[in-house]
Structure 1
Amino acid sequence: MYSSPWSKEQFVSFNRAHASRLLASSKTDEHSAAIKKEVLTEKEKARFAGPFSDEWLQRQSSEHQVFVAKAFPVVQGDKVRRADDWRRSGHNATAWASDCPPYQGTPTVASSVWRAGKTCRPTLSAVDHEGAYRNFPVRSPKECSTLLPEEGDERVWLHQVLPFGSSGSVWGYILFADAVCFLSISLLNIAAAHFVDDFYKCESETTATPSFASFQKLHRLIGTKMKEAKAKPPAKSQTLLGVDWQITEEFLFASPGKGRIDKLSEQIREILSSDTLHPQDAAKLAGKLNFACSWVFGQVGKALLKPIFARQHSGLQKPVALGSPLRAALKELLRLLPDLKPMRIPLKPSEVPVFVLYADAYITLSGSSRTANRWLKEGVPHTVLKGSTNGWGAVFLSPTGRRTAFRSQVPQDVLERTATSKAFIFWLEMLAQVLSVLVVAAQVRGHVLCFVDNSAAEHALQKGFSKDGLFTKVLGCFAGLLASKSIALSFHRVSSAANASDGVSRDDWSMATSLGCVRQDFNFSFAYEWLRRLPETPEDALFTKFVKFAEDLCAQSVGEQSMVDVTCMGVLIVTMCMAMYRQYVQVDMGVGQWLLVSSEVVHYFTYYTVKGYTEDKDKLDLGNTMHGDEEEEETSDLSSSTVIDEDHAWL
């Protein structure tokens, strides 16, 4: 749009017709009085000139002297603000730009704290300009007039300063803000940044206070008005750019904040109570929820936004009753939102233990054994699952030196019931990652690098949702469980040749053995039963049942490792006893063997007695037990996607 601006002749012709349409309309609403009051207040600050009559506008417009846009209300909670529609008036179409504005948003905040945390104890501080664009004059007030939605003849006003909503205003103000940050860096040696009119900086706590005073003084010398009451002096905890930041010795925590979560929860309750949702309201809700989910641990909840985006893109022009998928998603979000944990960014990554997990899958169809990646490209009909075989495997490398490998096979009826004909191949790849992580979850105390050799599976795992509705349910439950245990994952593409679990998935253990992995066997029957019943399981029972089988897998993993520990401890105890009493007891090889065997019998008996007792009790939380981690718009590929059939837009 900004690379092909309208000519002046095009704009003049278009806006003249637009002015005629506006003058023919005198529509008012309940917010008209609030808009008029705001304009009168700004007139006292010399930001508006007027009012002028409709006749004056008609005459000036016909002579190409005045160009107009329509004013409309923007409701923000209990506040009503005025905005002007510069897009429909044609004003924004006259702007030209070769690139996009350099917004330094939340990623810049996180990277600033992370870099400062390497050498000092960082703090955050911020100042906010009052009025922002409204502090700078326009070239000609007649080029940007506005028509208020009210009764009467005198409803035309002229902007004397840069108006909100105009592309030219954004670019003009950002150039000024960039200059202020440049002066802060070059004159004061302060690493300042800004997101539109929000200026912030990160600095060591030893110099933060005088630095902040100098930063404020620079703004006053330039002549900009600041919101003094909203100034944020240096602190470890700040609310900045809509995100709650908290800096500790080891981590930077980022979350949407309790206030935002409470407002979203209340809005969802109102929607569920009315049982209707307009597509425009769905768009606003989806944007707010997506922002909130982007700043929680593991971006939990994003999978639940799909039905809301489906309503947004439904093409409907009026509020419509909630469908089953949409109602279920809202109920689950209402349950999930209060329990979300903040995103955790390590400030000392070198001290964070990193675990490595390789997982892979294969399938044999029509007598031909191929990787899931190759079958996905070729496409296969659903009927070829009959008589097929499959397998998946994983290799887990712990920084403690423990290395394990395991595999399993998904029952054919599970694939037939849960995977669609176009997606069942990469189901195996995604499922291999999900089940593998659940098995090793109890051993993880840090970050897990997960390697996958299927691009489609990698993208679905990274985003937290899939075009396959049922698997989106799986990913939603998976993300919720990981967040509850504070397990951080990142998925990375690797070639099949470099995937250490490629052979394990086919029951070939040679690579795993060469890596020093211990082969382990786990019972995945509970997991497969959950998948088997996935299509008809009630939405409110999905996560509870998922947690149940996940904890069973964790318990098996802990049990296997505990048995190894018991064996090693038995050898250690016998060896220590023999060393302590060697001067009193003469032990030859034969007696020593019998002592060792006897000790191991006792340990095996004790282990299985305890294991059998605990299995009859409620499952314990065997996941990550680390403490201290209380925890704008959807990504373009989803929010701008084609219309989604809401009845099939599952969780």
Structure 2
Amino acid sequence: MAIAAAASAMVDFNDLAAQAGAAPPVVAYLRARGVDRTSTLALIALDVEALQKSIIQDYVDGIDIAGVTHKADPIHADVARAIIIHMWSEARRQWTIHTAIPAPPAAAAQPPAQASASQAPHNARVDEKPPKTFSAWQTQVESYNARLLDGERRRFPTQALLGAEEVLARMWHEHTVTKSYTPVSLSEILARRTYQASGEINPYAIRRAASATEEKDWVPRTLLAVIDGADSVSGLGPWPDRALRDRHIRRLPWFVAKARSRPGMMEQVVDFWSAIGWTLAMDLRLGKSFAEATKEIMENHALFYDAMAKPPKDVFVAASFPILQFDENGEEKCLVETGGDARVFGHDLWSAYRQWAVKHPAHSGTFLATDHGVTLWFHLAMCFGAAASVWNFNRAGDALQALLRALLLVFGGHYVDDFNALEFAETASAFEAFAVLFDLLGLRTKASKAQAPEVARVVQGVHLRVTDEGIELSPTERRRAKILAIIDQTLAENTLTPAAAIKPIYARAVDVARTSDDHLSVGLAAALRALRGMLKQVRPRFVPFAPAEKNMAVLYADAFFQEGDVIHKAGHVPPAAKAAPRDRRAFIYVLEIVAQLLPLLAFGDRLPQYWLAYIDNVAGQCALLKGYGKDPAVNGLLSAFWATAARYNWYPDFRRVPSKADISDAVSRDDLSQATELGWTWTDLPVDAILAVLFQAAGDIDYATDAAGDDLVRVAKPPVDGRAGAECAPAPASTLRRTGILENLVAELTAPSAGGEAVAETANAAAQMRQALAAQLKQSLRTPV
């Protein structure tokens, strides 16, 4: 066949684009590149790689042609690439067919047998795999469009099946080659076709194209999804013959009616579709006609009712939502559970990890020296005392904990072999169910250590009590005495070996050097002393169920220092404290700590248990949170603060905030404009009394961790005469000037101490500091400001 005749015999370019589902921008780009004929598209590239370089890549990246920019939408770029490749493949296939050299006629003129779609080609093998592409697509679409409707050619809805060619190829291969029919599921075409029924891009097809592995087809769960799935199958125009296609389409309204009759049983409806699909496939394999098999299925009412009678699959967890019911008076009828109704129970495994068999005994060998020589032993269970045994048992305990949550819905935890949980009184039977489950798993628990459900229980040496508002925790006297004895022994010996180190002391815990120094560092010794002091004054800790409903105070504090200047203001550090910058390499972080401590200690009896303090210095924040550092004097200040916090039963929270966001930054630099504008209250703090205590604490760590807390509590409390330790009053205009601040400070320093008997033991030191500071302040007042 001549080339001109071949080009004229090929499908029109417009029809090819429409059949491939090409959008107008794609067609416009191809025409702009001069590809406006099917034959031109077939010869523009010899393979897909060449087509990608010459045509597709320019469209994806964007190209200007005659002043017009042609570029694929980034979201739909993959779809446009697939459409162009599909058009080129079909054009290339038609070109190959129409330019092929015809075979010579047979010698004996015999009437050709009428080719049938159901007859397999002579070179086809039954065992070959179905092709991935549908080669008969164009022929079947032409057959569909050739049928006239009201005198006009029909137009096959290509968009409904574009992207699902693999399913069509499999069906065609089964019908024309293997005869091993398989059903088409409701989701096969829905999950693969490029466009949804609404005309939008199918997200399932995009995800499937981007995935490197074959994804499992999703299952429709709603009535609308089932109807869409049936409708997608009804769009299978390229069926082998018209009768088979029409009778198949005639079956679908019957199925949709069945689905609508059971809108709440979509799982059974999907199973019914699968059942009729396999029934139809088996009948076709036996040689029955499609019409005969379809009729039998539609008349088999038992098949439908059997599918509907199947119970739903097991559901272990279901979604739920709250429902509020109201009575005739408009009041809620829901019962609200409170924390006071909860119970605590516990179980202890017998022999702990020695109940766990070793999978490979060869992994648990040990040498034992005897009088007769060295012997080799293999353990059948985890070795008692071995670190690996504890580690692996904790993993097993986590698995058991997950089983309890999944099978019994018991929320609990474990510490090695001790299991504990919380349950409401109505579900306290979980205590018995816990033991039964462990028994079924072959694990024995200690009956003597079992703790029946109670409101208060001892868990790992801690009293745990559930109340209406939260959980109260406090150590037992035995545990407290044991910890104090360990701390006293450690401080007396001044050593702490790596084996005895606890987890927070990371550097010491991992120290395995032979010549390591086990003596206590300055910070570690201070931390142990502070911990000892707090344990002596320990109070029950309370964890609220609704912390957001608790009263909370917020503190902004900042310190400012500029070497060479002499600036004195409220919250000053007197020279008698010997806190010169030359004594500390990072003096500012000490000032930041003092700036935080002064207001907290002054308002100690007025602050709620929960408060939040913002600080713009990272070093100061870390020191306050840890409670110790490398400097002995700073450790004394921190220990005194935490001793006071233990007496107030505070829940402190120090947070880092940038200086620009710290509203106290301007005040620390004598900028009181914002304070004046917002009408803030001027407060006179008992600074001298507080600093006197901190001064002594900085030089005496034992005093800081014990008596300093009591002294600071007394300083903050109002004296007997009713005068508050920190008086609040509107700031007069004179105090908003720097000189006015200094004058008021001088008057305050020369006045008798407001602490009274609260700091009697430090009165002399406070008097000396007041006199020294007053002299310096008076000297600074002579200098113009």
- Which TM-score tier does this pair reach, normalised by the shorter chain? 0.5 to 0.7
1:276 is aligned to 2:493: yes
| Number of the residue aligned with 2:587 | 424
Question: What's the offset of the Cα at 1:364?
Answer: 1.5
Q: Percent identity?
A: 28
| Equivalent residue in structure 1 for 2:621, among 458, 469, 477 | 458
| Number of the residue aligned with 1:643 | none
| Number of the residue aligned with 2:267 | none
Cα gap change, 1:418/1:185 in structure 2, threshold over 3 Å: closer, same or farther? same
Give the paired residue count: 403
Q: Which runs of 5+ in 2 are unaligned?
A: 1-335, 730-751, 761-785
| Number of the residue aligned with 1:573 | none
1:193 is aligned to 2:413: yes
Question: What's the offset of the Cα at 1:276?
Answer: 3.5
CA distance in 1, matches of 2:672, 2:728: 20
After superposition, give the CA deviation of every residue in 1:94-136 in whole Å (9 maximum; x if it has no partner).
xxxxxxxxxxxxxxxxxxxxxx986663222221222333223
Question: What's the offset of the Cα at 1:429?
Answer: 0.8
| Equivalent residue in structure 1 for 2:563, among 346, 349, 365 | 365
| Equivalent residue in structure 2 for 1:249, among 468, 474, 480 | 468
**What secondary structure is seen at the aligned counterpart in 2 of 1:228?**
coil
Higher strand share: 1
Cα gap change, 1:198/1:513 in structure 2, threshold over 3 Å: closer, same or farther? farther
| Number of the residue aligned with 1:490 | 653
| Number of the residue aligned with 1:261 | 480
Map of 1:623-638 to 2, 5 A cutoff? Answer: none
CA distance in 1, matches of 2:514, 2:446: 41
Question: What's the offset of the Cα at 1:346?
Answer: 1.8
After superposition, give the CA deviation of every residue in 1:340-398 in whole Å (9 maximum; x if it has no partner).
223321223233211111111111124xxxxxxxxxxxxxxxxxxxx45476xxxxxxx
Question: What's the offset of the Cα at 1:476?
Answer: 0.9
Map of 1:145-544 to 2, 5 A cutoff? Answer: 145-148=365-368, 151-153=371-373, 155-164=375-384, 169=389, 173-174=393-394, 176-208=396-428, 210-268=429-487, 276=493, 279-280=496-497, 284=500, 286-287=501-502, 336-366=534-564, 387-389=565-567, 407-412=570-575, 414=577, 416=579, 420-533=583-696, 536-537=699-700, 539-540=702-703, 543-544=706-707
Cα gap change, 1:313/1:536 in structure 2, threshold over 3 Å: closer, same or farther? farther
Higher relative contact order (CA 8 A, sep 6+): 1
| Equivalent residue in structure 2 for 1:137, among 342, 345, 357 | 357
After superposition, give the CA deviation of every residue in 1:466-486 in whole Å (9 maximum; x if it has no partner).
233211111111111111121
CA distance in 2, matches of 1:182, 1:357: 42
C-alpha contact 1:124 1:237 (8 A) present in aligned 2: yes
C-alpha contact 2:697 2:704 (8 A) present in aligned 1: no
CA distance in 2, matches of 1:250, 1:156: 58
Question: What's the offset of the Cα at 1:535?
Answer: 5.4
Q: Quick one: which amino acid aligns to residue 181 of structure 1?
A: Q
C-alpha contact 1:418 1:534 (8 A) present in aligned 2: no
Q: Which runs of 5+ in 1 are unaligned?
A: 1-115, 291-304, 367-386, 392-406, 566-611, 621-651
Question: What's the offset of the Cα at 1:545?
Answer: 4.7
C-alpha contact 1:252 1:344 (8 A) present in aligned 2: yes
C-alpha contact 2:343 2:454 (8 A) present in aligned 1: yes
Q: Quick one: which amino acid aligns to residue 125 of structure 1?
A: F
Q: Quick one: which amino acid aligns to residue 433 of structure 1?
A: Q
Q: Which moved more, 1:471-480 or 1:504-513?
A: 504-513
CA distance in 2, matches of 1:542, 1:128: 38
Question: What's the offset of the Cα at 1:164?
Answer: 4.4
Cα gap change, 1:409/1:204 in structure 2, threshold over 3 Å: closer, same or farther? same
Structure-2-length-normalised TM-score? 0.45
Question: What's the offset of the Cα at 1:313?
Answer: 9.1
**What secondary structure is seen at the aligned counterpart in 1 of 2:561?**
strand
Cα gap change, 1:118/1:506 in structure 2, threshold over 3 Å: closer, same or farther? farther
Cα gap change, 1:494/1:186 in structure 2, threshold over 3 Å: closer, same or farther? same
C-alpha contact 1:122 1:205 (8 A) present in aligned 2: yes
| Number of the residue aligned with 1:23 | none
Q: Quick one: which amino acid aligns to residue 438 of structure 1?
A: L
C-alpha contact 2:343 2:422 (8 A) present in aligned 1: yes
C-alpha contact 1:418 1:535 (8 A) present in aligned 2: no
Q: Quick one: which amino acid aligns to residue 127 of structure 1?
A: H
After superposition, give the CA deviation of every residue in 1:303-347 in whole Å (9 maximum; x if it has no partner).
xx99x9699899768998x99999888777656533322332122
Q: Quick one: which amino acid aligns to residue 202 of structure 1?
A: L
CA distance in 2, matches of 1:354, 1:538: 31
Q: Which moved more, 1:411-420 or 1:520-529?
A: 411-420
| Number of the residue aligned with 2:723 | 559
C-alpha contact 2:464 2:471 (8 A) present in aligned 1: yes
C-alpha contact 1:415 1:424 (8 A) present in aligned 2: no
| Number of the residue aligned with 2:347 | 127
CA distance in 2, matches of 1:174, 1:327: 32
Cα gap change, 1:412/1:200 in structure 2, threshold over 3 Å: closer, same or farther? same
C-alpha contact 2:635 2:698 (8 A) present in aligned 1: no
**What secondary structure is seen at the aligned counterpart in 2 of 1:206?**
helix
CA RMSD, 1 decimal: 4.3
Question: What's the offset of the Cα at 1:159?
Answer: 0.5
Cα gap change, 1:136/1:117 in structure 2, threshold over 3 Å: closer, same or farther? same
C-alpha contact 1:501 1:512 (8 A) present in aligned 2: no
Cα gap change, 1:536/1:117 in structure 2, threshold over 3 Å: closer, same or farther? farther
Cα gap change, 1:203/1:324 in structure 2, threshold over 3 Å: closer, same or farther? closer
Question: What's the offset of the Cα at 1:408?
Answer: 2.3
Question: What's the offset of the Cα at 1:168?
Answer: 6.1
Q: Quick one: which amino acid aligns to residue 246 of structure 1?
A: R
**What secondary structure is seen at the aligned counterpart in 2 of 1:428?**
helix
After superposition, give the CA deviation of every residue in 1:539-592 in whole Å (9 maximum; x if it has no partner).
347743564355334438983599779xxxxxxxxxxxxxxxxxxxxxxxxxxx
Cα gap change, 1:166/1:390 in structure 2, threshold over 3 Å: closer, same or farther? farther
After superposition, give the CA deviation of every residue in 1:201-253 in whole Å (9 maximum; x if it has no partner).
21213322x12111211111121111221112222222324533222333322
Cα gap change, 1:354/1:540 in structure 2, threshold over 3 Å: closer, same or farther? closer
After superposition, give the CA deviation of every residue in 1:265-301 in whole Å (9 maximum; x if it has no partner).
34455567xx535543x752x529x7xxxxxxxxxxx
CA distance in 2, matches of 1:333, 1:185: 37
Cα gap change, 1:550/1:337 in structure 2, threshold over 3 Å: closer, same or farther? closer
Q: Quick one: which amino acid aligns to residue 561 of structure 2?
A: I
Q: Quick one: which amino acid aligns to residue 363 of structure 1?
A: F
**What secondary structure is seen at the aligned counterpart in 2 of 1:163?**
coil
Q: Quick one: which amino acid aligns to residue 675 of structure 2?
A: A
CA distance in 1, matches of 2:723, 2:582: 32
Question: What's the offset of the Cα at 1:448?
Answer: 0.9
After superposition, give the CA deviation of every residue in 1:437-474 in whole Å (9 maximum; x if it has no partner).
01111212331111111111111111212233211111
Cα gap change, 1:544/1:310 in structure 2, threshold over 3 Å: closer, same or farther? farther
**What secondary structure is seen at the aligned counterpart in 1 of 2:562?**
strand
After superposition, give the CA deviation of every residue in 1:581-606 in whole Å (9 maximum; x if it has no partner).
xxxxxxxxxxxxxxxxxxxxxxxxxx
CA distance in 2, matches of 1:618, 1:148: 67
**What secondary structure is seen at the aligned counterpart in 2 of 1:161?**
coil
Map of 1:568-587 to 2, 5 A cutoff? Answer: none
Cα gap change, 1:534/1:184 in structure 2, threshold over 3 Å: closer, same or farther? closer
**What secondary structure is seen at the aligned counterpart in 2 of 1:214?**
helix
